[in-house]
Amino acid sequence: MDTTEAILATYKRAPMRIVRGEGVELFDDEGNAYLDFTSGIAVNALGYGDEGLREAMHTAADGLVHVSNLYRTEPGEALARWFVEHSFADRVFFCNSGAEANEGAFKFARRWARAIGGAPKHEIVALRGAFHGRLFATLAATDRPQYRLPYRPLAGGITIAERDLRELEGMLDAETVAALIVEPVQGEGGVRVLDEGFLLELRALTRERKVALILDEIQCGLGRTGWLFAHERSGITPDLMTIAKPLAGGLPMGAILVSSEIACAVRPGDHGTTFGGGPFVAAVARYVVERLSDETLLATVRSHGAWLGDTLDAMAKRRTDIRAVRGVGLMWGLDTVQPAADIVRRARERGLLVLSAGDHTVRLLPPLTIRRDELAVGLARLEASLT
Ligand SMILES: *Cc1c(COP(=O)(O)O)cnc(C)c1O
């Protein structure tokens, strides 16, 4: 019997069964090796079998695994303090996934907006091409009809706007809008690096209209762009920021970073989570953020990014089947003439794992610890898989 039959079919899974990982490679149960340019969708930033991560997990496992949020524990407090020291934030809420982080950010933004503007100030605006998760509110903020349509009605009071300053000037009404949520680099929506000038204008506009700016850095944050946080490139600071994917080295964890102004509006009882920020995951995450904020690692990601951009541009120039190349750091997208799903399959058959981001975009998210020669091997396999 095919044992995949017992898993609910929400994913179309590739046929091989992964049993082991080492560095930037995964191995299946037949001994085939795959260079991994997906990192478990931006989760495994340190690759596989990282010695330090393994040790951090062992040490954390010797301590408490779970203690209710009704009581204080040191690892979560230390991790929150680390984020307060390394970002705009004044307070941190821990949860268990990206979608959960965004749902919580919507709640905190509405809590604050209601305090300053009353009940009518509750609308949330997201952008064309956005992906913020698959729960009812985050799905309403996600611009993918095939994800949304089967589940209507979605959460109310959430709309999608074009990535256009004029349209946003019309939509971000100070009386009715609580928050604007933005991915500084849109991931699932095709790897779109939002223009620095556009982000600066959005920040000015949201300040003027007293609209909370939520940055979703679940995919692009924590070193992926070559900066600890993607928004550092543009010099803006948000009111709230969500992170998740690589945060706890593969353990499920999300976080909402909150400015002092938003934090002031939140009271005990306003939100909750059973598992969020438990001592085991928090201790592991404390190790991971130390690694991902290392200036040598970040500088390497930036220089890999510059090299990848040049190399992919050159590839696009000598071929007719790449329409566009976009990206930053170790987050790249190629618009392809062929369906992305076909390229993903052919690459896998050549020992390279890549992702799609829409029907005609191939997405590359290698581990942040990858070496230049490994990147070059991957790109050669990718080019051979294009047709
Ligand atoms: C993956 C992702 C999410 C959702 O995270 P989950 O942990 O899958 O719920 C939200 N926003 C962005 C930008 C993401 O890439």
Domain boundaries, the chain: 3-51+295-385, 63-292
Concatenated DSSP letters of 234-251: TT---SEEEE-TTTBBTB
Average pLDDT of every residue of the chain: 97
97 lines ligand 1 (CB under 6 A): yes
pLDDT score for 337? 98
pLDDT score for 2? 62
Q: What is the pLDDT of residues 333-355, one digit of tens each?
A: 999 999 999 999 999 999 999 99
50 CA from centroid of ligand 1 (Å): 24
95 lines ligand 1 (CB under 6 A): no
CATH number of 3-51+295-385: 3.90.1150.10
96 lines ligand 1 (CB under 6 A): no
Token pair, residue 31, equals: 């001994």
Of 214, 215, 218, the one to substitute when testing ligand 1's pocket (max ligand atoms within 8 A of C-beta) is 218
CATH number (3.40.640.10, 3.30.9.10, 3.40.50.1820, 3.30.1300.10) of 63-292 reads 3.40.640.10
Q: Quick one: 70 exposed, middle or buried, by C-beta within 10 A (0-12, 13-18, 19+)?
A: exposed
250 CA from centroid of ligand 1 (Å): 14
pLDDT score for 4? 66
In sequence order, which residues have a C-beta less than 8 Å from that of residue 138 and are 6 or more positions away? 99, 102, 103, 106, 132
Q: What is the mean pLDDT of residues 91-112?
A: 98
CA distance linking residue 95 with residue 107, whole number of Å: 13
Q: Quick one: 189 exposed, middle or buried, by C-beta within 10 A (0-12, 13-18, 19+)?
A: buried
Q: How far apart are the first and last CA of the chain?
A: 35
pLDDT score for 286? 98
Can you state the angle between helices 372-384 and 340-349, rounded to 10 degrees? 120
Label residue 150 by pLDDT band (50, 70, 90): very high
88 CA from centroid of ligand 1 (Å): 21
Query: Residues in the chain, how many?
Result: 387
One-letter identity of residue 355: L
Q: What is the pLDDT of residues 13-38, one digit of tens each?
A: 999 999 999 999 999 999 999 999 99
Question: Going by CA atoms, what residue is nearest to atom 11 of ligand 1?
Answer: 132
CA distance linking residue 30 with residue 28, whole number of Å: 5
222 lines ligand 1 (CB under 6 A): no
Residue in 378, 369, 364 with CA at minimum distance from that of residue 187: 364
pLDDT score for 3? 61
187 CA from centroid of ligand 1 (Å): 9
Are 250 and 288 in contact by the 8 Å Cβ rule? The answer is: no
Are 187 and 327 in contact by the 8 Å Cβ rule? The answer is: no
218 lines ligand 1 (CB under 6 A): yes
Asked whether the domain spanning 63-292 has the same topology as the one spanning 3-51+295-385, the reply is: no
Grouping H, G, I as helix, E, B as strand and the rest as coil, residue 18 is: strand
Q: Say which residue, 107 or 3, is predicted with more confidence.
A: 107
361 lines ligand 1 (CB under 6 A): no
